Amino acid sequence: MGKKKRKVSAFTKGLAVLMILLLLPGLSASASGASDTTADNTAGESTDSQNTAVPKHHKYIRYNDDDSYTLTLDVTGVSESETSKSKLDVLLIVDQSKSMGTSMGSRGSRLDVLKEIITGKNSLSGAILENENIDGRMAIVSYSGSAGRGDTSWNDASTVLNWTDQKSDLDAKLKRIYAEGGTNCQAGLYEGQKVLKSARSDAQKVVIFLSDGEPTYYYDKNGKTQGSGNFDEGGKSASAAYSQAKKMTDLSGFYTVGISKKSDTEFLKKLVKQVNAREKGTYHADTAAKLTKIFEDITADITEYTCRNVTITDTLSEYVELDDEDPAYSVTAVDSQGRDVDLSEVDVEFSYDSSARTVTVQFPKDFVLDADVTYSIHFNIHPSQKAFDEFADKGYSATGSANSDASGNSTSSGKKGFFSNTSAELTYTYGTSENARSYTAEYEEKPVIQVSVQDKNASLTISKEVRGEMGDKKKTFSFTIRLKDKNKNPVSGEGTGIQAAVYACEGGILPGVTGVEAPEQSSVEFEKDGTAVVSLKHGQTLTIKNLPDGYFFEVTENAEGNTGYTVTYNGEQSDCASGILDGDQTAAVVNQKEYVPDTGIVDGTAGDGILPAAGILAAGAVCGLMLRRRMKH
């Protein structure tokens, strides 16, 4: 599925940094590697998608019945044709001093090799000016240096070609440069700064400065060339170049390339530091083969932009819960023709932070999303107690956004409900195999869920009846109601274990009962332990409404005050009434107490028979005494 990384040299990595700027405005990359390669790097994350390839991504919902929903978040791999054209102005400042005529082997001089690399097959000019994804222009400045009789001011550098978008023009002009004179780096920078003034204001501006040695000439304040031409006397030539470099501003990138074994890398390293550019790098190449390989890799890299290192996060709203503490999820992929793509060897990680209520889905590091393949993450949710409570109290608070329904589903887009999430993000890196930057994109769709009040919500009716000659029909009896969710957790509001859950209720009177009034209570509040207490008298009923379907209930009459009563629940003598709220349920509680005469035969649980029993024992003792007296006489 993913593309393999290609190993390239440190030099290649450095110059590839430059090419990253071609397609990704604001993109930051690095050049690193061998000891002769240095770079000033920046890092960060961009959320600005202008002129940046943003993968298509979509969030939607499907209703599964029984208050279950499937949420899906997808992302589609980016193809190159979908990238926006980026404007890029690249200026080449080319050393044409006499030493650039030194041979680099069978391919000719240093200058010959450089011309071939920039203009030939798979060249830099082709990568910039003939790439359909780039709105590119290039310009050329050449510099050398000489001093002597007849020398004029500011004449050690010239604009060989001003900005052009035609490869043929650039190639032709570059081929006409020849090697002569000394090295006035300041002159090249001075002329280059003039050319940059006509660069496009909305384009990325990049300068590549090429040299094969340290500067030996410089301009005085009048533009006259000064210096020996053989060495940098007192460091004046380098100092003048540094001062000139400081005047270059608002660049996306500034890169120096030292061409030869003797090129002064210390000078070039310091020169880079003077320039105000977001990306900087100093590189060294001393063979034709090395230069060729570098530009071949650059050309390949700029045409292989990929989307990888993908992470999807979805923060759930307080109106939904995952189906389980360790929820099941699935990952699927289809190509542009709707055919399944095998992901059996792709290890996608799914995690849930219950405290932050955030689902995180992470693709493997460096896994590349194939172009036009859509990868989808699916997981199930259901309404939370908060959703039921708020609906019962206020109704729905949101409307589903457009395109938030799965194909064939019609419960979200434009429909009333509660939002399933507070936010969802896609993070990814985009760029070449060696250089890329992280981006973030929001999922715009906002699906909603509903609570199935009419069909699925249940009610619980508790009724009280007092029977028997000794039953006190004026007495108030209290009941404890316990409510648990489908996972047997106490119902206590928003799932926090702190807030109470409040349900509407309605009082009533048992059929055939007269002389009583219906309870005035309008709501029942369940505390954090999932219990609520209500009170009823003979003939009264209390119906608690909109209880979640599938929850567990238990109704128990509290022991205090019912001494001597036989208590039955729904016609059976037991400790409580309990069950599952799979519809409207009833807990019919009957207390019966009959008259019991004083027979002296007691169950030993009360003291009412103590005095009669004592009388019987006393009478027996008297009769026995009289009988013994009669026998004696």
Query: pLDDT per residue over 366-375, tens digit each?
Result: 788 988 999 9
The predicted pLDDT at position 42 comes to: 29
Q: Which residue has the higher pLDDT, 445 or 283?
A: 445
Residues 6+ apart with CB under 8 A from 44: 28, 437, 438
Mean pLDDT of 350-361: 93
236-245 vs 185-196: helix crossing angle, rounded to 10 = 10
The predicted pLDDT at position 78 comes to: 78
Q: How far apart are CA 330 and CA 341, in angstroms?
A: 14
- The pLDDT tens digits for 518-571 are 999 888 888 888 899 999 999 999 999 888 878 899 999 998 878 889 999 999
pLDDT band for 2, please (50, 70, 90 cuts): very low
Q: Which residue has the higher pLDDT, 499 or 445?
A: 445
The predicted pLDDT at position 4 comes to: 33
Q: Are the C-beta atoms of 388 and 548 separated by less than 8 Å?
A: yes
List the one residue out of 25, 48, 16, 11 whose CA is nearest residue 278. 25
Q: Is the pLDDT of residue 48 over 90?
A: no
User: In this structure, what DSSP letter does residue 231 have?
Assistant: S
List the one residue out of 165, 167, 213 whose CA is nearest residue 188. 213
Q: How far apart are CA 291 and CA 15, in angstroms?
A: 11
pLDDT band for 39, please (50, 70, 90 cuts): very low
Mean pLDDT of 459-467: 95
Mean pLDDT of 583-599: 87
The predicted pLDDT at position 65 comes to: 79
Q: Are the C-beta atoms of 232 and 277 separated by less than 8 Å?
A: no
Q: How far apart, in Å, are the Cα atoms of 499 and each of 2, 389, 502, 524, 530?
A: 48, 12, 10, 14, 10
Q: How far apart, in Å, are the Cα atoms of 241 and each of 186, 246, 263, 271, 370?
A: 4, 9, 16, 7, 47
Q: Which residue has the higher pLDDT, 311 or 499?
A: 311
Using CA atoms in the order 316, 362, 443, 331, what is the torsion angle rounded to 10 degrees? -90
The predicted pLDDT at position 550 comes to: 83
Rg, the chain, Cα only: 44
Adjacency order of strands within the sheet including 251-259: 38-40, 277-285, 251-259, 204-211, 86-95, 134-143, 157-164
Domain architecture of the chain: domains with CATH: 55-80+307-449 (2.60.40.740), 89-302 (3.40.50.410), 457-592 (2.60.40.1140), 600-625 (no CATH)
Q: What is the CA 578 to chain-centroid distance, rounded?
A: 44
Q: Which residue has the higher pLDDT, 442 or 628?
A: 442
The predicted pLDDT at position 22 comes to: 37
Q: Is the pLDDT of residue 585 over 90?
A: yes
Q: Work out the number of other CB atoms within 10 angstroms of the CB of residue 529.
A: 11
Q: Is the pLDDT of residue 270 over 60?
A: yes
The predicted pLDDT at position 470 comes to: 92
- The pLDDT tens digits for 81-105 are 444 566 788 999 999 999 998 888 8
Q: Letter for the amino acid at 455? A: D
Q: Are the C-beta atoms of 466 and 356 separated by less than 8 Å?
A: no
Q: Which helix (H) or strand (E) holds 111?
A: helix 110-119
Residues 6+ apart with CB under 8 A from 31: 10, 13, 14, 15, 16, 17, 37, 38, 39, 41, 281, 283
Q: What is the CA 23 to chain-centroid distance, rounded?
A: 24
The predicted pLDDT at position 622 comes to: 42
Q: How far apart are CA 617 and CA 98, in angstroms?
A: 142
The predicted pLDDT at position 493 comes to: 53
Mean pLDDT of 429-439: 68
Q: How far apart are CA 33 and CA 320, in angstroms?
A: 50
- Give the predicted TM-score (pTM) of the model: 0.46
HEC per residue, 595-609: CCCCCCCCCCCCCCC
User: In this structure, what DSSP letter does residue 496 have?
Assistant: S
Q: How far apart are CA 208 and CA 48, in angstroms?
A: 27
The predicted pLDDT at position 414 comes to: 93
Share of the chain above pLDDT 90, in %: 48
Q: Which residue has the higher pLDDT, 173 or 502?
A: 173
Q: How far apart are CA 492 and CA 353, in angstroms?
A: 21
Mean pLDDT of 129-153: 86
Q: Is the pLDDT of residue 630 over 70?
A: no
Q: How far apart are CA 633 and CA 630, in angstroms?
A: 5
What tokens were used for 379?
């997981």
Residues 6+ apart with CB under 8 A from 263: 211, 212, 213, 284, 286
Q: Is the pLDDT of residue 415 over 60?
A: yes
- Written as one string, the DSSP assignment of 247-315 is T--SEEEEEEEEESTT--HHHHHHHHHHS-EEEEEEEEE-SHHHHHHHHHHHHHHHT--EEEEEEEEEE
- Written as one string, the DSSP assignment of 82-104 is GSPPEEEEEEEEEE-SGGGGSB-
Task: Provide the 3-class DSSP secondary structure of residue 241.
Answer: helix
